[in-house]
A = this chain, B = another copy of it.
Amino acid sequence: MEPLAVRAEIKPSRGRLTRDAIVQAAINIIDAEDISGFSTRKLGKSLGVEAMALYHHFKNREEILAAVAEEITAEIIGIEVDYQDKSWQDQIKISARNALNVMRSHKGALSLMLEHGKISAPWMIWHERQLAILLKAGLPPKEAIAAFRAISGYIFGFTGFEMRFRPIMEKKDFVNLMIEEFKQSDYNSLKSTTEYFRRDWDDQFEAGLDLLIAGIAAQIESFNKV
């Protein structure tokens, strides 16, 4: 009979690794160090395991990153509360803001989704919910898809730019650098707006969304008239 101590040491390391634990550890690394700081070897180490152990749960690195993208998509749709009593405009706004907030908490989320995202269950739920809102609001299928793509494109595009450029624009010397840059140029439109670029990201996000919603509302109205 073997000493219990040894069994006790080995037992908890048996089957300890799960897909969920791996995905969570991967998200932690990517949040802290960006995608460029992610490696299967680091991931293994953070789980107290050799990197090769991961291959028992995932086919390869690509599949791990696809699972991370799916998990973040699940986070985006998961925090959506019941809002059936709200107008379609408010429903669009609430889910858009949720998406923005989740992406803000995972800086590399968008690149991850664009490079490794699959058509996953949460991704389909996102489609389903947005389409349901737009169809119920009165858009025919074809127009609903165009509106859906416009909204999703805007949300993720805006977020992508914010993630990349906001830190640069919010640096103390950004405006001075730009003014210096513009001195010998004729970038008059940029000159007159530079100061606004670094402020009010939340308001700007909402304002852009309102433009889109106004366009959609006008289209719904035109359909109702016929």
* Chain A residues engaging chain B, CB cutoff 8 angstroms: 35, 110-111, 113-115, 117-119, 124-125, 127-128, 131-132, 135, 141-147, 149-150, 152-161, 163-165, 168, 181, 187-190, 192-193, 196-197, 200, 203-205, 207-216, 218-219
Q: Which residues of B contact A203 (CB under 8 A)?
A: 146
6 CB-based A-B contacts, threshold 8 Å = A115-B164, A118-B168, A125-B187, A135-B189, A146-B211, A149-B158
Q: Which residues of B contact A135 (CB under 8 A)?
A: 189, 192-193
Q: Do residues B147 and A208 form an inter-chain contact, with CB atoms below 8 A?
A: yes
Task: Known A135-B189, A158-B150, A211-B146; judge A164-B124 contact (CB<8 A).
Answer: no
How far, in whole Å, are A197 and B123 apart by their CA atoms in the complex? 14
Q: Do residues A141 and B193 form an inter-chain contact, with CB atoms below 8 A?
A: yes
Copies in the complex: 2
Contact of A160 among B114, B150, B190 (CB under 8 A): B114
| Beta-carbon nearest neighbor of A129 in chain B | B189
Contact of A153 among B147, B161, B190 (CB under 8 A): B161
| Beta-carbon nearest neighbor of A135 in chain B | B189
Q: Which residues of B contact A168 (CB under 8 A)?
A: 118-119
Contact of A188 among B132, B159, B207 (CB under 8 A): B132
Q: Which residues of B contact A204 (CB under 8 A)?
A: 145-146, 149
Leading 8 A-B pairs by shortest Cβ distance: A157-B157, A153-B157, A150-B208, A211-B215, A153-B158, A146-B207, A215-B215, A131-B189
Task: Known A119-B168, A190-B131; judge A156-B161 contact (CB<8 A).
Answer: yes
| Beta-carbon nearest neighbor of A165 in chain B | B119
How far, in whole Å, are A161 and B110 apart by their CA atoms in the complex? 11
- Least distance between A6 CB and chain B CB atoms (Å): 43
Q: Which residues of B contact A152 (CB under 8 A)?
A: 157, 161
How far, in whole Å, are A124 and B143 apart by their CA atoms in the complex? 34
- Least distance between A21 CB and chain B CB atoms (Å): 25
Q: Which residues of B contact A150 (CB under 8 A)?
A: 154, 158, 207-209, 211-212
Q: Which residues of B contact A219 (CB under 8 A)?
A: 211, 214
Q: Do residues B124 and A187 form an inter-chain contact, with CB atoms below 8 A?
A: yes
Q: Which residues of B contact A131 (CB under 8 A)?
A: 189-190, 193
